[in-house]
Structure 1
Amino acid sequence: MIFWQHILEKLQDNQKVYVLTVIENFGSSPGRKGFKMLVAQDGFIFGSIGGGVMEFSLVEETKQLLKEGIDNIFIKKQIHKGNIKDGSGMICSGEQTVAFHCLDSHHISTVQGILTGIQNGEKGTLSLTPDSFYFSYKFIENQFEYKINSNNDWFFNEHVGYKETLYIVGGGHVGVAVSELFVKLGFFVVVFDNRENLNTLKNNHSAHQKQVVDYADISNYILEGSSSYVAIMTNKYTDDKLALSKLIGRNYTFIGVLGSKAKLETMWNVMLKEGFTQEELDRIYAPIGLSIKSESPEEIAISIAAQIIKIKNTNN
């Protein structure tokens, strides 16, 4: 978000800004798809497209374009194999293609839209083409979609905003620790509890959204889809069971329940008698988190994060 804030400040200052975006990479290229850098008219730079002599060279080239008043859109391939055609001067192997877009005051509304979407936890798409740089609230399932047919025939779409949302059911001490960690990991974090005036919920300053709800209606507040992750950690067994019973069988990438093996075994037996199937229960991650002998809320948060990261990155 800081990247876009810097761009907005420069545009509002009536400066032109080049945005350099890695739109394709292969092998051991230091720049990966989506890496970005801004070069402003006053010489300010921010971000990275891979570093090293390659980045320095492209930044100097961009500064010269701004100095000469050139505002073209173009792409440039960099091959990291030494002194060859399109070579970057780096020897790390691999290659990357960088798109150059010059923004001016006419793009202020576009950048403001990106910032608003990120702040509100909305999902959108940044679309780059040889003719345009624009943002929409269209949702793409993958982080990137792109195709390069030639220097004048290409497109690059990038998911902007929080791709994954973690819904925490239970606003206690563990919920606070989990919120803090997952915000740092780039998740949009929503916390629910059914208790009014709960101190730990009020003092949870990390979560993007907090809400007091009736757990009987919890399914109304959690969006289904591959970007949704659910961690149930209420303050008592009956609430855990109630929340799970309303969410089980719905389409989420992850549902986990915090608790001891003994508590969960009791819950499973009761739910089987109530008509839930073993197949449904087997899809639940319980006890939630990797087994690392975690005890404190912070250690439990790390175990949950490790488990969810593994699932998220395996699915990707």
Structure 2
Amino acid sequence: MQSIFSFIHSHLLQGQKVMLMTVIGRDGSSPGKQGFKMAVASDGTFTGSIGGGVMEHRLSEQARRLLKQPDLPAPFIVFQDHDPEAKDNRSGMICSGGQTIAFIPLTQQELAVVRQILDAVEKEEKGVMALTEKGIAFRKGEELTVPTESQILSESRWEYKQQLGMPDTLYIFGGGHVGLALSKIFSHLDFKIVLFDNRNGLNTFEENRFAHEKQVVRYTEVTGLVPEGFNVYVVIVTFAHKSDEQVLEQMLGKDLKYLGLMGSAKKIETIFGNLKKKGFTDEQLSKVHAPIGFPINSETPAEIAVSIAAEIIAVKNGAK
């Protein structure tokens, strides 16, 4: 997101025109997920992706042709059907499903709005970006209950909204080897990373250059350190079952996108049993991903981190 709007902002400052393409609707197994973006500048350069393949090449070429015209078109949408037998709007891909892409032409007239959007992303200032048949807008301070919303009534009436200033955030409890490996992986996955540990001078905690924030805390006092929300992911990988239980107890009542606990089946059974005695229900405990991660026989910290990352990505993307 930041790189897309940095690209747009820099090219508009140079007096160029830019076409922003955004996937605002998705059906079936379309490769372009809602929210995917691609920007094409009038000098021919581009960044981002709307799903790849022959479809992306053809639509980016269409954007280049439009940018060469003296007068840019009004914003419009294009539906692409990935069924090779489709009679209309065939994308050229064979993965089934379909996607709707909004084309938003941008000139220096939109520079101020683009700057607002870029500031919101960089400074984590809450607001909503809106794309409609009228163009691009930013509504400072607004908040959605989901990352994106889309409504396509017709080719001439549509709206796509995206929450800004609220990045997907991974809160890691445990600054040991697994916490370090997790931080490294998620630094490539467009997540903000917040790391906690209760040990001063821990070498893996000190060496962690991937976390955006690090804090030494008391594991008995972490409730207020983690907010609720659709963008909040929590991983518990502390060095002891007692601290795991302390942290988990404080996270169970929160509305989180993901909550995972590392440990053997026996350890999980013991911790869950203790929490049930304290009044927590099977329904509450069923929301915990435990043992954490996909079962890939992972053994090393790096392998464990890969299994956890895969599970979190699956939850993030709504995989069943």
Please confirm whether the aligned pair reaches a TM-score higher than 0.5, indicating the same fold. Answer: yes
User: Per-residue displacement from partner, 1:185-234 (whole Å, max 9, x unpaired)?
Assistant: 33332111223343322321222222222222211110123432211122
Match of 2:107 in 1: 104
- Counterpart pick for 2:263 among 255, 259, 269: 259
Match of 1:229 in 2: 233
Q: Secondary structure at the match of 1:227?
A: strand
- Asked whether the 8 Å contact 1:170–1:192 carries over to 2, the reply is yes
Q: Secondary structure at the match of 1:189?
A: strand
Match of 1:90 in 2: 92
Q: Which moved more, 1:181-190 or 1:48-57?
A: 48-57
Return closer, same or farther for 1:305/1:68 CA change in 2, 3 Å cut-off.
closer
Match of 1:240 in 2: 244
- Counterpart pick for 1:125 among 122, 125, 128: 128
Q: Secondary structure at the match of 1:70?
A: coil
Match of 1:150 in 2: 154
Return closer, same or farther for 1:113/1:192 CA change in 2, 3 Å cut-off.
farther
- Asked whether the 8 Å contact 2:170–2:192 carries over to 1, the reply is yes
- Asked whether the 8 Å contact 1:78–1:86 carries over to 2, the reply is no
- Counterpart pick for 1:305 among 293, 304, 309: 309
User: Per-residue displacement from partner, 1:260-288 (whole Å, max 9, x unpaired)?
Assistant: 34444444454455x23352445433332
Return closer, same or farther for 1:59/1:315 CA change in 2, 3 Å cut-off.
closer
User: Per-residue displacement from partner, 1:85-113 (whole Å, max 9, x unpaired)?
Assistant: 96457364655433222222343343333
Note the C-alpha offset of 1:29.
5.3
Aligned residues: 315
- Asked whether the 8 Å contact 2:147–2:230 carries over to 1, the reply is no
Matched, 1:115 2:118: yes
Return closer, same or farther for 1:301/1:95 CA change in 2, 3 Å cut-off.
closer
Return closer, same or farther for 1:2/1:201 CA change in 2, 3 Å cut-off.
same
Match of 1:45 in 2: 46
Q: Secondary structure at the match of 1:14?
A: coil
Return closer, same or farther for 1:121/1:206 CA change in 2, 3 Å cut-off.
farther
Q: Secondary structure at the match of 1:157?
A: strand
Return closer, same or farther for 1:114/1:213 CA change in 2, 3 Å cut-off.
farther
Q: Which moved more, 1:82-91 or 1:18-27?
A: 82-91
Unaligned runs of 5+ in 1: none
Distance 2:241 2:285 in 1: 16
- Asked whether the 8 Å contact 1:53–1:88 carries over to 2, the reply is no
Distance 1:192 1:295 in 2: 23
Matched, 1:73 2:77: no
Match of 2:138 in 1: 135
User: Per-residue displacement from partner, 1:133-173 (whole Å, max 9, x unpaired)?
Assistant: 02334332334322233333221113446653221111111
Match of 1:190 in 2: 194
- Asked whether the 8 Å contact 1:77–1:86 carries over to 2, the reply is no
Matched, 1:288 2:292: yes
Distance 1:38 1:217 in 2: 45
Q: Secondary structure at the match of 2:24?
A: strand
Match of 1:35 in 2: 36
Distance 1:28 1:267 in 2: 39
Distance 2:296 2:231 in 1: 26
Note the C-alpha offset of 1:3.
1.9
Return closer, same or farther for 1:62/1:301 CA change in 2, 3 Å cut-off.
closer
Q: Which moved more, 1:154-163 or 1:295-304?
A: 154-163
Note the C-alpha offset of 1:8.
1.6
Return closer, same or farther for 1:13/1:157 CA change in 2, 3 Å cut-off.
same
Q: Percent identity?
A: 40
- Asked whether the 8 Å contact 1:110–1:134 carries over to 2, the reply is yes
Distance 1:234 1:38 in 2: 42
Unaligned runs of 5+ in 2: none
- Asked whether the 8 Å contact 1:83–1:89 carries over to 2, the reply is no
Return closer, same or farther for 1:117/1:170 CA change in 2, 3 Å cut-off.
farther
Q: Which moved more, 1:56-65 or 1:67-76?
A: 56-65
- Asked whether the 8 Å contact 2:151–2:160 carries over to 1, the reply is yes
Return closer, same or farther for 1:246/1:83 CA change in 2, 3 Å cut-off.
closer
Q: Secondary structure at the match of 1:154?
A: strand
- Asked whether the 8 Å contact 1:73–1:99 carries over to 2, the reply is no
RMSD of aligned alpha carbons: 3.3
